[in-house]
Homo-oligomer: A and B are copies of this chain.
């Protein structure tokens, strides 16, 4: 099989084809370097320019000002869970507040608990995380070191389109699965981080955006790879970073800025893609059943079930025949999930919708 499929993988996920083509073109010899990006020193002029351009494009896309630092780290969101806890809970005498709206928020809390006091400021696990907190439902500690939330829950398919109101404590956010899918007011955040492998690149790097004044709170003696202060002071080059992965992220950021035209345009595309599927679900008279409540639906991960597991299996099998790949839902929610991140083209979403319409006609 040498044909590219319609890729609905939840992550690592589809990348923009022009980015892959550029990577392929430059694979043996990066212009000006005399070697592949995989083969050059992280202290070389070529790589310095790669990582500096990536940061500049990210700053331009999100409108990040001088108040916030940007670093590229290894270890995915899971390392960030530990990092935010050792940097901001250890020795602080304060608890971390966690808003749980799905599986990833739970993981963040579990990891942070190893390093300090944590509180559950909200959870609706008993409803299988179908919705976000409503006004007044957050149980916050005014003394909290931070309030953490997960902007998009990949498994459940619920997404914050606006930041929760949390008062004065710094707002921390795992944005792994909707990072750069729409504009975000970075100034509201103390820490905004994301593993790359959904919206901005291959697995193996995470981006962390940190309000600089918080770095004064970082204690001494942290493991170097978990230390935000060290990462910021060394501009992500304390040790050898994931150079090639950062290079690909840089190309994706450039694609977002120049080819797509920025986050407003990306957001519009993402709304259009999601609407194709949600409208189809809503007009199916219950044949397709969305998991998330309507006002909490994710633009990135569309989750739905059918009446029986057999019907779901049949839908999946037919999808495979039509080169629609990666649609099986996570076991904790069941059914199907279409992950339609930034790089998933409208054409792929339309192909899926056409098939779902056809399937409904046949089986409905």
Contacts and interface: CB of A to CB of B under 8 A. Distances in A.
B9 A41 contact: yes
Interface string A14-52: 110100110110011101111110111110100000000
Interface of chain A, main secondary structure: loop
Contact of A28 (B21, B79, B222): B21
Nearest to A195: B240
Interface residues of A, number: 70
A270 B194 CA distance: 41
A86 interface: yes
Interface in A74-130: 74-79, 81-82, 86, 111, 114-115
Interface string A224-242: 1110000000000011111
A363 interface: no
Given A76-B240, A239-B78, A28 B34 contact: no
B82 A9 contact: no
A204 interface: yes
Interface in A206-261: 221-226, 238-245, 248
A13 interface: yes
Contacts of A132: none
21 contacts: A2-B31, A4-B34, A7-B34, A9-B39, A9-B40, A9-B44, A12-B41, A17-B28, A20-B38, A75-B75, A75-B225, A79-B223, A82-B224, A82-B225, A115-B223, A202-B243, A203-B241, A204-B204, A204-B245, A223-B226, A242-B242
